[in-house]
Amino acid sequence: MAAGSLTALCLLLAAANAAAEATSSYIVHVAPAHALPAPRRGLLSAGAYGSFLRAHVPADVSSPAPTVHYSYAHAATGFAARLTGRQAAHLASQRSVLGVVPSVAERPHTTLTPSFLGLSPAAGLLPASNGATDVVIGVLDSGVYPVGRASFSADPSLPPVPGRFRGGCVATPSFNASAYCNTKLVGAKFFYRGYEQETGRPIDERVMSKSPLDTDGHGTHTASTAAGSAATGAGFFDYARGNAVGVAPGARIAAYKVCWNNTCTSDDILAGFEAAIADGVDVISISLGSTNGAQPFHLDTTAIGAFRAVRKGIVVSASAGNNGPRETTAVNIAPWFLTVAASTVNRQFPVDVLLGNGQTFTGTSLNTGTPLGATKLPLVYGGFVGTQFCEAGKLNATMVAGKIVLCESSNNARTAKGEAVRIAGGVGLILASFDLYREQAMTDAHVLPAASVTFVDAVKIANYIATDGSPAATIASGGTAIGRSAPPYPRMASFSSRGPSRHAPEILKPDITAPGVDILAAWTGANSPSHVSTDTRRVEYNVIAGTSMSCPHVSGVAALLRQARPEWSPAAIKSAMMTTAYNVDSAGGVIGDMSTGKASTPFARGAGHVDPNGAADPGLVYDADAEDYITFLCAIGYDAKQVALFTGDGSVTDCSTRSGSGVGDLNYPAFSAVFGPGKRAVTQRRVVRNVGGNVWATYKVRITAPDGVRVTVSPGTLRFRPWRKTQEYKVTLELQENLPDKHTFGAIEWSDGQHKVKSPIAITWPPATGKIAQL
């Protein structure tokens, strides 16, 4: 048994000893020889593996009786079941079972952005792809709210739904499928059994709709960002007014509701993948992930489902996570994911904080209702009146009434702080951003006049409160500002999760960045824009931020490319985006990082900012398929049993036959290497395919070497011919000197005079102390 499998079994046994009769939800991966065949159409019945489970759990550990709530054949091979620790451990020890993995709870992680991306109906990728009318995007999220939402209306010009799509809409008392679904919204399904197993009780339908209907807002926002129909007069009250349209306005949307009350369980997510693959979607957009860091690939059920999808030719675009700016926080990092970071656009919602001493600090917020006015009001610090974090019920109402309160950021929701201030009688909120966020303050739809300011500005405001005998302030909103010369854009969001990859640092992650800050898109009518329960406002559009917002932008671009270049694989589509991404901001400098105030690195922005029109004609692509990913899994040390979790077929992978390839030899459009004691040189191999119009093209390389590293590319010239469309080359990276920094970066660029095919280089070595970085 492999060390990883033995460790997993030991963990299951330990759990069994700790709580023998407690039950939890597990995903059981069945060996191919014992698997149920995938139906030619549709899905296995939920309890299809019931007899397998009964046959493999002996009587002495069968109490309480285990139950199956999902069966998988497309996204995985096996089932999800409610088991005790002893039952799970027993199943894991069976030859007919490849692995038993606990289901974990994951979390969900625009009018302007299509034009910001350079998409125009007049020229470029948008008309070349016909808006992706022949493409279906499957959105795994919190559902969809189509009621009265123009973003999900059927454009009369849309042709019939692609015949290969086999999905549809599930009707419930709260979801009128015949009224809500059309040639735009072509699928709507929901998966809730995992959530009910997680909570131990049925869904409360007074709070959430047990249907595809989105009562949160997140899924509606992401779906409309990717492929929403054009809508005139969109905006959040008077903010961001204009015409809203998705990145791929002709693409069809299939919504798979897998998130409930901000919780998305592994078994529900896998069920969503199962349905999306069976339905025949072309792109899967998944804006959710672990909040506890990336899991090893064989324990990451989302990665397994994504592998099965990519093997079917489906592009899987996933959010990198919102746990930045610390290193190794990126999730959804398996190389078959298209992993998306978040950055800003050229639009802001400025709010000024005017202090009694004449100082002014500009923050951000979406203030609605009656403004405070020019008269300055008493200003207090939350820490002096009950709680610096402005937690509900902890503010002294006598000391807060009629005042503006300065609050610090913490784990309680930002908008909940404003609600706590309002309940205590306060009239305004100044919210300090996290110190780690440095230049970024978060925009929210607060329930009272508010301003979010950077940590540095908050410290200055706090000093004023502490030193002035009668501190006072007011808050003045500045509306919507577009195209301001300062600061430059795009900039990497501080919250955007960073690389290097926790489990395969030789694969650069994230892959790319896209708009993810203050994005306007459709919203549910069943929830307020603030997520505060007492907020009675209901809006058709909302402005929110996160890699959840950047991911569907890239999903939309993938849909456009899928139709414009139908012969391209998911890896080729990712390659086209990465090698044509740009790394220069509006001021001509390297894309900045709001968490440092300096230039960002590829561990923040990946290969750069997506450029849809450039991706339509990349010149060269780096391709890869399931066999390449299997070789990668062998290279990181997986055995045949672990690889079978991903492949799910009856073949046995003999990794010894693939031993000639290293982890860094995966045909990826980027280079990443880790040096250490005794390892000062690395060679990585790549193959590129000419997809440009000139079949006789000659490409020459240009190298920007990372500091302290010699880069050699051989050969330095690639000559293509009609009969020789692919060329191989190798890159050797040699450490020349020990430098105090842990990382350094460079790039290589192939050019034929028309195309520039760029790949970043990331180097990691031990810091000056001589200790190897823990990746």
Please check whether residue 430 is in contact with residue 408, taking contact to mean a CB–CB distance below 8 angstroms. Answer: no
> Catalytic residue at 45?
no
Reported as type and span, the H/E element at residue 139 is strand 136-141
The strand pairing partners of 341, in sequence order, are 513
> Catalytic residue at 218?
yes
In angstroms, how far is CA 15 from the centroid of its own chain?
31
Task: Name the nearest CA neighbour of 238 among 414, 111, 372, 404.
Answer: 111
- Tell me the CA end-to-end span of the chain in Å, nearest whole number: 25
Q: How many beta carbons lie within 10 A of that of residue 61, not counting itself?
A: 18
Could you tell me whether strands 105-108 and 264-265 are parallel, antiparallel, or unpaired per DSSP bridges?
antiparallel
Looking at residue 294, its amino acid is A
Query: Which residue among the candidates 209, 548, 575, 672 is catalytic per the annotation?
Result: 548
Burial label for 696, CB within 10 Å (0-12, 13-18, 19+), is exposed
Looking at 191-336, which runs of residues are DSSP E strands? Answer: 231-236, 239-244, 252-257, 264-265, 283-286, 288-289, 315-319
Please check whether residue 519 is in contact with residue 113, taking contact to mean a CB–CB distance below 8 angstroms. Answer: yes
- Our CA dihedral for 566, 629, 10, 57, rounded to 10 degrees, sits at 50
Q: How many beta carbons lie within 10 A of that of residue 388, not counting itself?
A: 19
Please check whether residue 57 is in contact with residue 89, taking contact to mean a CB–CB distance below 8 angstroms. Answer: no
Query: Which residue among the candidates 141, 282, 518, 617 is catalytic per the annotation?
Result: 141
Q: How many CA atoms lie within 13 A of 496 on its CB side?
A: 41
Under 8 Å CB-to-CB from 486, ≥6 apart: which residues? none
Under 8 Å CB-to-CB from 254, ≥6 apart: which residues? 136, 137, 138, 139, 165, 167, 185, 186, 187, 188, 189, 276, 279, 281
Please check whether residue 584 is in contact with residue 557, taking contact to mean a CB–CB distance below 8 angstroms. Answer: no
Task: Name the nearest CA neighbour of 445 among 529, 546, 556, 358.
Answer: 529
> Catalytic residue at 528?
no
Query: Which residue among the candidates 56, 218, 531, 743 is catalytic per the annotation?
Result: 218
The strand pairing partners of 29, in sequence order, are 78, 99
Could you tell me whether strands 404-407 and 377-381 are parallel, antiparallel, or unpaired per DSSP bridges?
parallel
Could you give the residue numbers annotated as active site? 141, 218, 548
